[in-house]
Structure 1
Amino acid sequence: MTEHELLKLSAKAMGFELEYRRGSDAFYYDDPESGREQWQPLSDEGQAIRLAAHLQLNILWFTNLQYVMVERNGFGEKIGWTDKADRGGALRQAITIVAAQIGSTLP
């Protein structure tokens, strides 16, 4: 999946409708609490954790093997990292991919 597809489908899993703005090359949604927000769970830890909590994803850390696995009901993704600075990125990516997998099954 492309990054745009991941963003659209993960937002669908959250129940958000996105608006794409070509000028900023970004997707936006209306958050009931904070107003208009950019949808970026691949780089925003808060949004990624919100996705994981909303979808009740299981997160398993395999620190000795340097990967994180995110799963739920037959959907899953395993992402590795090379150094500690990359661990958060691996988690955000795995969460977003699993959310997009779930979103792809929704009408």
Structure 2
Amino acid sequence: MTDQELLDLSAKAAGYKYAKNGGYIVVDGIPGNWNPLSDDGDALRLAVKLHIGVRAHGPDHWLQKNVAVALWDAGEQSGRVTIQVDSDFLRATRRAIVRAAAEIGRNMK
């Protein structure tokens, strides 16, 4: 799935009214271009809105080196998204949140 598809499905899951402006997404009520893949604030708002719990594992946690995990629970839709971290925990955590949100959006009718 492309980054654009992830963003579209995430916006759908959050119930955001949005428009595409060039390569950017503009969401009603959120200033600037909405991109939770690159903006910590957008990612946190998305996680809170969709009740996505986030847990970032450090390099020594359960011997799972450099892994960020996002958990969500949305009725019948529940699961875990795990992202391997190269060196940027924030980027991996944002991506895990967006992937979890996109999965919720993909399963919406």
| TM-score bracket relative to the smaller structure | 0.7 to 0.9
Structure 2: 5+ residue runs without aligned partners? none
Task: Write the mapping of 1:82-97 to structure 2, written as runs, cut at 5 A.
Answer: 82-83=86-87, 86-97=88-99
Q: How does 1:1-107 map to 2 (within 5 A)?
A: 1-22=1-22, 25-31=23-29, 36-63=31-58, 64=60, 65-73=65-73, 74-83=78-87, 86-107=88-109
Q: CA RMSD in A?
A: 1.4
Which has the larger displacement, 8-17 or 73-82? 73-82
Distance 2:19 2:40 in 1: 21
Identity over aligned pairs, percent: 33
Structure 2: how far apart are the matches of 1:46 and 1:61? 16
Contact kept, 8 Å, 1:75 with 1:102, in 2: the verdict is: no
Q: How far did residue 76 of structure 1 move?
A: 2.2
Distance between the aligned counterparts of 1:20 and 1:27, measured in 2? 5
1:48–1:95: 8 Å Cα contact kept in structure 2? yes
Runs of 4+ in structure 1 over 2 Å off: 73-76
Return the TM-score normalized by structure 1: 0.84
Following TM superposition, by how much is the alpha carbon of 1:75 offset from its aligned partner in structure 2, in angstroms? Answer: 2.8
Aligned positions, number: 100
